[in-house]
Amino acid sequence: MDSGKKIYTVDTPPPYMSGPMHVGQVTHYTQIDTIARYKRMRGFEVNFPLGIDRNGLPVEVRVEKDLKISMRATPRAEFLELCKNRLNEDEKIVIDAFKRLGIAFNTYEDKGSYRTDSPRFRAVTQATFIDIWNKGLVYPDARPNNWCFDCGTTIADAEVEYSERPTTLNYLHFEVEGLNPIKIATTRPELLCACGAVFVHPDDERYTTYHGKTAKVPIFDLEVPIIASPSAQMEFGTGALMVCSYGDQNDVMAFRDHALAPIPAVSPDGTMNEAAGEYSGMKIGDARKAVLEELKKRNLLDKQEQSIQRVPLCWRSGTPIEFIAMDEYYVKQVQFIDELLKIANETTFYPSFHRQILIDWLNRVSVDWPVSRRRYYGTEIPIWYCNSCGEASVPELDGEPKYYQPWREDPPFTKCPKCGKEEGFTGEERTFDTWMDSSTSALQAVGYLRDDKLFKKAFGNILRPQGKDIVRTWLYYSLLRTLQLTGKPAFNEIWVSGHVVDENGEAMSKSKGNSPPPMPFVEKYGADAMRMFGALEAGLGSDVRFSEDRLAGVSKFMTKLWNVGRFVSMFPIPNGLKFEKLTLVDQWILAEVNKMVERIVPDCDMLDFHKPAIEIRGFTWNLFADHVLEMIKGRAFNTDEKFSKDEQESAWFTLHEVLNTITRALAPITPYITDKIYRELYDEKGIHRQEYPTVNKEWKSSLTEHTELLVQTNSAFWKFKRETGLSLRQGLPEAFISENLQPWMKDLQAMHGVERISFGEPKDDKFVEVKLPESEGSIYILPPAVEPE
């Protein structure tokens, strides 16, 4: 990072280690690598660290499953070691895949790269926490929150996903003294024991007489108030709503708003607690069945109805979440939303329409972020509690950040700041939500708290590339934390890609059997083809449909490019010829390549390589290989010396200029083949230290307006020969073509073996008219005399 060039940091998404990569990850990382390579060729010092995300639940679950052990029944230090070993194995596979794919991270060694579970990374995560703790942005609370039984921990709203599922709506009735029973529809009859109220809409005339009365909860004999509240929906079920602690987020708010006393009925392990009476100890689902049986027996169940429900699920384990009140630490986030909205609007998004995902999320954030997790394999929360007064204390921030493990270490202080006693401390056992770690990746990539010089130089020019599925988590938390820590926006550019889906547009998944392992494709078709495929198949932000047939087609283009390179390499490279000394045809070719560069650079600058890939492939294959090479090879070889030495050298120079430009234009997308060609022909330092092609103002030619006519004319010659059974090499005595093609005359004569080319239309009716395949106009060919047998 000392080259003096401006530093451009690519805040690589650290892949989570969970076995081999899938097709989507391969495409995602090669697309990001294309950006890094492009920026390097545009003169930036590119800081592209390899990050590996290793914290969190999935490895714990894999270790528990594979070794048939339980995390909480294993000594903590031992369990951590088992996780680490497992991660090291998985990491090797992923790093090998990265290398094979040509992902050019800064380095694959420890320096410049990071693992989120390394003491160095965790030390910075902890230091950032201590910083916001000191700023008063962290507080403990026991509010009900999303709880996942499988993960055994509280999770944040950002980690909750919703799924539509069939459910049963049960109609039952609550007795009301002096009135008809009030009918209720519920999907959670097992929570009757936790019922705190019945809500009816204030405008619902069916229930006006019930306002202020009490209802008797069936089976459990609780008396609960009937409250008029706009949160009851008149058109849902019977219009009367059972409010329990806690069926969903609405219940949480209802209890809070009406100061109702909650009756927690579900334990953190997913069973009913003593509040459920004879159902206590049962799993939620079993209790639901048993309560329904009892309702039927007592004739309290009026009817059942199938319905579709939006169920909140844990992002990682897919488990339906419950609302359970546990003591957790919260990071204040609600107060930052306005400022984050401003940042969201002011930061450049590629493509800009994905900005909306972030804005929608920001508008939904309504509670603070619970950050403590009851897991082992994560960064420890650096807090100790005074054994005398219970006061929570964090270490001082002083010099190089240090890594703390409070569950097994004494604190770096001896005296309680509150009571002043020295009676020892008890270490916090919980770890952080893993987004607390990964949200510091950008800061850590530019040396935050570790390398002030680098930080001053590099912070402020960071690109965040990522998938759209983690906008509300990784992107949001990174923006929030960077704002809290530095008061500034984290990124100046945010690049959000789509997903890779199967040929039919369906999400790929191992269980559906439509997610083949990618590396065998890479072995079969090559890393360049795989990378080119990812660029060709979809515009930035849209989903890529994976298809082996299309990948195979892309590999044919790579072969074509190689053959073009081999052909051009047969000719020497003349020393820099002046443009105006070149033949008109060669000036035309260079003007065409110039136009291609002009079309691709603006998209590349928007970090979208989709159209550029199409343009470069089209130019290379459809114009350069099919027409230009065929046309000027006669002049380049000049075997029968029909051309002058200058004309021949002009051809050599032009062929190399075009190949040089194409390879540099493609280098960020297909680094292997372009580097191989470039190293052998042009510079042994390789292609990736070269500049990306830019528009050459000299390379202009009015002939480019006739390019299409030229292409059509060639096609007409080939068509004539094919249809009359002549070989493509067969000579022709004479042909008439458009006079606009006069500058190409000599090259066209050599290309099609025409002895004499004239312009306009022939008078002689021995000429055969051949219509141009895709435009108006014709050429006229005098067929060769048929040799008598």
In the complex, the residues that contact Zn ion under the rule CB under 5 A are 148, 150-151, 314, 316-317, 319, 386, 388-389, 391, 416, 418-419
The pair of three-digit structure tokens given for residue 423, joined into one six-digit string: 């009676």
Cα–Cα dist 336/358, whole Å: 14
Cβ-based nearer residue to Zn ion, 192 or 386? 386
Helix (H) or strand (E) holding 23: helix 23-41
How far apart are CB 405 and Zn ion at their closest, in Å?
A: 22
Cβ-based nearer residue to Zn ion, 83 or 148? 148
How far apart are CB 151 and Zn ion at their closest, in Å?
A: 3
Q: Are strands 301-314 and 160-176 parallel, antiparallel or unpaired?
A: antiparallel
What DSSP string runs through 467-497? EGGGIIIIIHHHHHHHHHHHSS-S-SEEEEE
Cβ-based nearer residue to Zn ion, 226 or 416? 416
Cβ-based nearer residue to Zn ion, 83 or 735? 83
Contact 368, 140 (CB under 8 A): no
Cβ-based nearer residue to Zn ion, 49 or 270? 270
Residue 223's Cβ-count burial label (10 Å; 0-12, 13-18, 19+) is exposed
Q: Report how far Cα 174 is from the mean position of its chain's Cα atoms.
A: 50
Cβ-based nearer residue to Zn ion, 51 or 270? 270
Nearest to 731 by CA among 761, 711, 751: 751
Cβ-based nearer residue to Zn ion, 56 or 743? 56
Cα–Cα dist 664/679, whole Å: 12
How far apart are CB 693 and Zn ion at their closest, in Å?
A: 50
Cβ-based nearer residue to Zn ion, 355 or 375? 375
How far apart are CB 155 and Zn ion at their closest, in Å?
A: 7
Cβ-based nearer residue to Zn ion, 389 or 507? 389
Cα–Cα dist 228/234, whole Å: 12
Cβ-based nearer residue to Zn ion, 18 or 388? 388
How far apart are CB 5 and Zn ion at their closest, in Å?
A: 45
What DSSP string runs through 149-174? TTTTEE--GGGEEEEEEEEEEEEEEE
Cα–Cα dist 472/226, whole Å: 38
Tell me 318's DSSP state: -
Tell me 627's DSSP state: I
How far apart are CB 83 and Zn ion at their closest, in Å?
A: 17
How far apart are CB 393 and Zn ion at their closest, in Å?
A: 8
What DSSP string runs through 408-421? TS--S--S-TTT--
Straight-line distance from the first to the last Cα atom of the chain, in angstroms, rounded to the nearest whole number: 77
Return the beta strands (E) in 619-673 as ranges. Answer: none
How far apart are CB 494 and Zn ion at their closest, in Å?
A: 28
Cβ-based nearer residue to Zn ion, 310 or 679? 310
How far apart are CB 565 and Zn ion at their closest, in Å?
A: 52
Cα–Cα dist 548/524, whole Å: 11
Cβ-based nearer residue to Zn ion, 238 or 372? 372
Amino acid at position 667, single letter: A
How far apart are CB 146 and Zn ion at their closest, in Å?
A: 9
Gyration radius from the chain CA atoms: 35
How far apart are CB 390 and Zn ion at their closest, in Å?
A: 7
Cβ-based nearer residue to Zn ion, 314 or 490? 314
Cα–Cα dist 57/433, whole Å: 10
How far apart are CB 377 and Zn ion at their closest, in Å?
A: 14
Cα–Cα dist 468/361, whole Å: 12
> Within 10 A of 456 (CB to CB), how many other CB atoms are there?
11
Which residues have a Cβ under 8 Å from the Cβ of 85 and sit 6 or more positions away? none
SS3 labels along 495-557 = EEECCEECCCCCECCCCCCCCCCCHHHHHHHCHHHHHHHHHHCCCCCCCEECCHHHHHHHHHH
Cα–Cα dist 150/286, whole Å: 17
Cβ-based nearer residue to Zn ion, 150 or 175? 150
Cα–Cα dist 668/30, whole Å: 9
How far apart are CB 149 and Zn ion at their closest, in Å?
A: 8
Residue 390's Cβ-count burial label (10 Å; 0-12, 13-18, 19+) is exposed
Give the dihedral of Cα atoms 33, 34, 39, 41; nearest 10 deg.
Answer: 110
Cβ-based nearer residue to Zn ion, 231 or 388? 388
How far apart are CB 412 and Zn ion at their closest, in Å?
A: 16
Cβ-based nearer residue to Zn ion, 319 or 707? 319
How far apart are CB 419 and Zn ion at their closest, in Å?
A: 3
Contact 529, 30 (CB under 8 A): no
Backbone phi and psi for residue 269, each to the nearest 5 degrees, phi listed first: -95, 5
How far apart are CB 90 and Zn ion at their closest, in Å?
A: 20
Tell me 271's DSSP state: B
The pair of three-digit structure tokens given for residue 716, joined into one six-digit string: 């007409």
Cβ-based nearer residue to Zn ion, 54 or 316? 316
What DSSP string runs through 421-474? --S-EEE---EE-HHHHHTTHHHHHTTTTT-HHHHHHHTT-EEEEEEGGGIIII
How far apart are CB 77 and Zn ion at their closest, in Å?
A: 24
Cβ-based nearer residue to Zn ion, 389 or 728? 389
How far apart are CB 421 and Zn ion at their closest, in Å?
A: 5
